[in-house]
Amino acid sequence: MTARSISRRSLLHGASLALLFPGLIHSALGQRQQAVKFVYPFAAGGAGDAVGRIVADQISTALSVPIIVENRTGAAGRIGTKSVATAAPDGTTLLYTSNPPLSIYPHYYPNLDYDPVRDFAPISLIATFDVALVVSPQMSIKTIAELVAWAKENPTKASYGSPGAGGLGHFFAVMFAMTTGVNFQHIGYRGASVAMNDLIGGQIPMAVVSLGDVIELHKGGNARILAVSGGQRSPLLPDVPTFKESGVNAEGQGWFALYAPTKTPPETIARLNKIVVERLAVPEVRDRLLKLNVVPQSSTPTELAELQIADSRRWEPVVKASGFTPDQ
């Protein structure tokens, strides 16, 4: 291949990327390269943050474009989410988030300064995770049916811990209570680890937390998971039934997904979706995500939009029934 053909090929490659990402200035065109900003509206260090960094790295490799993961925290994730809603729709700013800012917050923050549907263009689902109901190892209860019977006989003792008021654990427990007719008392903790310490110590009889927060304790015999919240058993813990298998009509998962600002060119969305779908199918990438106790799962943009709407409808009556009012 001649130097002339190499140069022509590089220019064509740079031009095609420029069409997909008009805000990027590519080194292939002899100019400075601009990074893509990958906004995660929550703190660094948790499983969600780690999942996002793996996906960002995969996209960066596929595009040969640097990607900076920005943990833009504040206001329970609303500040970072809004920053993407108001960003230029040129492919240089993306939102990587869990579902609450887009499908749960609208039901208890009356004055959200972004529209979860109108302001974002779905790219792809990234991963899902279950919520688990776990009981203290000091209790003899081994099934959901036994737990419901115990709670009805011991209403003053029927309390549960969650990682915090207004989270998935809190609301899933409300759904569980609505379905079974049991009045559980909620105790909100500052994080799952604090709740689990009290569970193991016998201060609370049960907790509702993300599966990843308790799976190792369950495997080690220090806590007992009775059921998981997905529509089917989790591949991370296939021996544990779902709530529906246990006779309770309660279902709902957490998820992580990737979005762009609305009006981002369709070809940019399609290109990013293709990369995510391809990279999440790579065994090594899937294994890395599974080790973070999430289940990798891609989607089309349309499927993600439908999931978001269905998720919002699922949680709306639950949030209202909870009576939860957040600190603004």
The pTM is what?
Answer: 0.88
Residue where the block lists tokens 């937390």: 209
Helix, coil or strand: residue 274: helix
Residues 6+ apart with CB under 8 A from 11: 28, 29
Residue type, 131: V
| pLDDT tens, the chain, 328 aa long | 444 444 444 444 444 444 455 544 343 333 345 789 999 999 998 899 999 999 999 999 999 999 999 999 999 899 999 999 999 999 999 999 999 999 999 999 988 999 999 999 999 999 999 999 999 988 999 999 999 999 999 999 999 999 989 999 999 999 999 999 998 999 999 889 999 999 999 999 999 999 999 999 999 999 999 999 999 999 999 999 999 999 999 999 999 999 999 999 999 999 999 999 999 999 999 999 999 999 999 999 999 999 999 999 999 999 999 999 887 5
Q: Tell me the one-letter amino acid at 161.
A: G
Q: Which regions of the chain does DSSP assign to beta strands (E)?
A: 36-40, 67-71, 93-98, 120-129, 131-135, 159-162, 185-188, 206-210, 224-228, 254-261, 295-296
The tokens describing 100, both together, are 């609450």
Asked whether the beta carbons of 182 and 206 are under 8 A apart, the reply is no
User: What does residue 164 show for φ and ψ, rounded to 5 degrees?
Assistant: 160, 150
- What is the distance between the alpha carbons of residues 99 and 86, in angstroms, rounded to a whole number? 19
Enter the CATH code of domain 131-228.
3.40.190.10
> Which architecture characterizes domain 35-129+254-322 according to CATH?
3-Layer(aba) Sandwich (3.40)
Q: What are the start and end residues of each CATH 3.40.190.150 domain in the chain?
A: 35-129+254-322
Looking at the chain, the domain(s) classified CATH 3.40.190.10 span 131-228
Q: Which amino acid is at 22?
A: P
Which of 151, 130, 128 lies closest to 139 in space, CA to CA?
151
| Residue 273 contacts residue 279 (beta carbons within 8 Å) | no
> What does the alpha-carbon distance between residue 167 and residue 174 come to, in Å, rounded to a whole number?
11
